[in-house]
Structure 1
Amino acid sequence: MGRGAVTPLVRGHWHEVRAVARGLAKPVASELVDLTHAAGRVLADDLRSLVDLPSADVTAMDGWAVAGPGPWTLRERIVNGRPPGGPLLPGDARGIGTGAVVPEGMTALVRREHGTVREGVLHWTPPDDVRLSRRDVRPRGEELRAGDVVLSAGTRLDPVSLAVSASCGHDAVEVARVPVVDLLVTGDEVVPRGVPAPGTIRDSISPLLTGMTRAAGAAPGEVTLVGDDLPELVRLLRSSTAAVVVTTGGTAVGEADHLREALGIVGATVAVDTIAVRPGGPTVLAVLPDGRLVACLPGNPLAAVVGFLAVVHPALAEMTGRRVGAPPSEVLGVALEPFARATRILPFTRVAGAAVPTGWDASSMLRGLSASDGLLVAPREGSREGEALEVLEPLWRMPG
């Protein structure tokens, strides 16, 4: 679906809707960020090594660099981090540590446990199966050559990839800017803090979706409880500068549900009008006149999670250029009955290595999600025990 003319997708299938969200997302600009602040960011360009790795022939073990057959006269020790100096002459040995540059003329490395020094002379005392060689020397460029692509654009940087970047000579990396996501929670019955009184509900959506926003590589922006106030909702939609505005509640057609009317007033075009999924069906995705997105999620928490994973998560991945692989899968431990009306998203736990739905899958329930190992994507036609089903990335889980 192009950005020029948006045709609404009504009750779209799960994978269709995610594809639409990706297609509507506008890439963000990039910025140069120091490695110490780049964890979790998405690499904007391929990262190439600036050096050979290792940058010279270096030792892989402690011991002595020797030239020719032994015994050898012991000379000045080679210091790590400094050039080794002049060439090693036949019959000479120099102590050397792991990672030090080997001297010219070296023919072998004697491991520390294979040598004995007596009166300034090194004697070789190896086991019977060890031969004198350079096998404990790492040749220059063994791991990488200067110019090699080390990390591809779209990689989400973790501590190991940052260490690799540093070892290749980089101090900073070019990464996608972090998209900002504003959150508007609608409903007069929603209270922000404390124990809710009868007839009201506590706002559990804000901490849930702001946490998932961070896990998706974006930054939570303004979080506002709007109530069922059409003028205020319109004002907030117009004033937001976030890349994505997420709203919760108001996606139905009741008297207090103003979301669709507000979208019309601000000139937004609806791209997705409900999804054939349960829970999360009343999810709407719209495009503002300047191309930014409004993701309108149901007000119930599990339904909001599913809506977020359907439209917000794929859009954020596309905005940052994050490389997304094939979805993971889990083997079912039980059969699932057909459900002709919609794809079902089911919290599951692993039992004896297989996925079993928790049973706590109503749109208002968080219990099943909090106790789950993930969410199964259950097709309408049902599934057999032992069949592999797609599972969704658990953005509600903290890593580790």
Structure 2
Amino acid sequence: MAALVRGDWDAVRRVSTSRAKPLASEMCDLADAHGRVLASDVRSLIDLPAADVSAMDGWAVSGEGPWQVRGRLVNGTTPDGPLGAQEAIGIGTGGVVPAGATAIIRREHGDIIDGQLQWAPPTGVALSLKDVRPRGDEAHRGDVMVHAGARLDSMSIALAASTGHDELEVAIVPTIDLLVTGDEVDLSGRPVPGRVRDSVSPALTGMVRGAGGSVENVLAVPDDVEALAAQLLASTADIVITTGGTAVGEADHLHEALRRVRAEIIVDRVAVRPGGPTVLAILPDGRLVAGLPGNPLAAVVGFLAVVEPALRAMTLETERPNTRELLGTDLDRFDGGTRIVPFIRSDAGVVPTSWTGSSMLRGLASSDGLLVVRPGAATAGTSIETLPAVWRHA
């Protein structure tokens, strides 16, 4: 297929989604499941609760009072038989209600006098079973509790545990190699004038985790086409991300390196600011190469354009609905494509941060997310699409 040259924001994300190959699945213990994407529905293995249980501490009683108390149910056990008429048995919250019970009396409404339970209810309170959670009140066996494609969080994992699961089927985590290009880039230490500290790979590492992937290697690659092509061939990751070298300057070697490894370019630049010089290619074995600009904010935008959609497609994660918020200020008109702008929330609505240049990370670090500003006018009080701060989901 012909490369999508200077494709618009939505078209590029669709292409990235469509060309990513879904990965296989594996079983995962609940303790390791946080952040993983479900490969199959989680169905309840039991009725929840599994029996009629008391919602209060007190007594289960049969008939009208007073009642002869025949002991207390120990939590975690089942009744040894039904209640007879005018009998009561102590019960704790979550205890199995014995057959024959006609009401639950709360502990604060009863007293035991000479072995009998006396009831002293507040005005208007009648004997009833309203403090019983019936069997299957929350779920029935076989009910879908969490749907395939969901990203597992602590509550969904807890729900799976409550319905009897010890492990879940999840998508295999896509692997990423980060190739940081540039003779001037240092991976550590304090850069001297003329040198630049790599800040892109730390930003992308968190974003990869937040989008469901795992960074396996971060490698510095000199501005040399042979070296870059060799690293592309050596990588076994599901996606190889390169930073820098995507434009057409003397030190920009990605396009030639892709040609040498016989990769097919499917996206060649995006109509977005910053992040326009973003490239997406497919290696002969079907794995992806994402070429991101070297400037930090531009690299983040390129990641959101081509890498994040691919990661979600690889794990079959359910697509998240777009979110919208009210714009708190007028934005300068721009008709050259989509703009991605870090924002913060204010009393007036969402507004750009103070640092929105393509080389700046400070605005991202202080932001609540990103504005997706479409071509044309964007005025205060209008609804505008936003993207979440993926780097905070790691």
TM range (shorter): over 0.9
**What code does the residue aligned with 1:96 have?**
I
Separation in structure 2 between the aligned mates of residue 321 and residue 229 of structure 1, nearest angstrom: 36
CA shift for structure 1 position 263: 0.3
- Tell me by how many angstroms 1:337 deviates: 2.7
Letter in 2 for 1:197: V
Cα distance in 2, alignment partners of residues 392 and 375 from structure 1: 5
The one-letter amino acid paired with 2:109 is H
Given that residues 368 and 388 in structure 2 are in contact (C-alpha distance below 8 angstroms), is that contact kept between their aligned partners in structure 1? no
Judge conservation of contact 2:209–2:393 (CA < 8 Å) in 1: no
Which of 178, 184, 187 is 1:189 aligned to? 184
C-alpha distance in structure 2 between counterparts of 1:344 and 1:93, whole Å: 70
How far the C-alpha of 1:396 sits from its partner, in A, is 2.3
Matched, 1:259 2:254: yes
Residue 116 in structure 1 maps to residue 108 in structure 2: no
> What amino acid maps onto 2:123 in structure 1?
D
Cα deviation 1:198-243 (Å, max 9, x = unaligned): 2111111111111111111110011101010211111110111111
Matches within 5 A, 1:4-153: 6-153=1-148
Q: CA deviation at 1:398?
A: 5.3
Counterpart residue type for residue 217 of structure 1: G
Segment drifting more, 171-180 vs 351-360 = 351-360
Q: Secondary structure at the match of 1:208?
A: helix
Amino acid in the other structure paired with 1:49: S
Partner of 1:3: none
Secondary structure (helix, strand or coil) at the match of 2:49 reads coil
**AA matched with 1:119:** D
Equivalenced residues, count = 394
Residue type of the alignment partner of 2:367: S
Unaligned runs of 5+ in 1: 1-5
State the alpha-carbon separation in 1 of the partners of residues 65 and 250 from structure 2: 95
Aligned amino acid, residue 282 of structure 2:
V
1:211 paired to 2:192? no
Q: Is the 8 A contact 2:37 2:151 kept in 1?
A: yes
- For residues 253 and 132 of structure 1, the distance between their equivalents in structure 2, rounded to whole angstroms, comes to 82
What is aligned with 1:362?
Answer: 357
Distance 2:170 2:119 in 1: 52
Q: Secondary structure at the match of 1:101?
A: coil
Amino acid at match of 2:13: R
Deviations 1:160-182 (A, max 9, x none): 10110011111100000100010
Matches within 5 A, 1:131-280: 131-280=126-275
* 1:317 and 2:323 are equivalent in the alignment: no
1:396 and 2:391 aligned:
yes
Give the AA of the match of 2:157: L
The AA in structure 2 aligned to 1:133 is: S
Calculate the aligned-residue CA RMSD, in Å. Answer: 1.0
Distance 2:188 2:253 in 1: 24
Question: 1:204 is aligned with what amino acid?
Answer: S
Deviation, structure 1 residue 353: 4.6
Output one character per residue of 1:45-83: Cα deviation in whole Å (capped at 9) or x when no partner. Answer: 111101000000100001111111110111021111111
What secondary structure is seen at the aligned counterpart in 1 of 2:160? helix
> Quick one: which of 382, 388, 392 aligns to 1:387?
382
Runs of 4+ in 1 over 6 A off after TM superposition: none
Identity of aligned residues (%): 59
Mark the CA change 1:322 to 1:398 in structure 2 (over 3 Å): closer, same or farther: closer
Q: How does 1:306-345 map to 2 (within 5 A)?
A: 306-345=301-340
Cα shift at 1:359: 4.2
Equivalent-residue separation in structure 2 for 1:349 and 1:77 (angstroms): 57
Whole-Å separation in 1 of the counterparts to 2:260 and 2:288: 15
What is the alpha-carbon distance in structure 1 between the residues aligned to residue 34 and residue 354 of structure 2? 36
1:298 paired to 2:293: yes
State the distance in 2 between where 1:56 and 1:228 align.
68
1:292 maps to a residue whose letter is R
| Cα pair 2:58 2:104 within 8 Å, conserved | yes
Partner Cα distance (1:389, 1:180) in 2: 33
- Write the deviation string for residues 297-355 of structure 1: whole angstroms up to 9, x where unpaired: 00000000000011100110111111122111121111223212121111111121501
String of CA shifts for 1:68-116, please: whole Å, max 9, x gaps. Answer: 1110111021111111111100011111111011111111111111111
How far does residue 281 in structure 1 lie from its aligned partner after superposition? 0.2
Greater alpha carbon shift after TM alignment, 390-399 vs 162-171? 390-399
Matched, 1:282 2:281: no
1:215 counterpart letter in structure 2: G
Displacement of 1:194 in angstroms is: 1.3
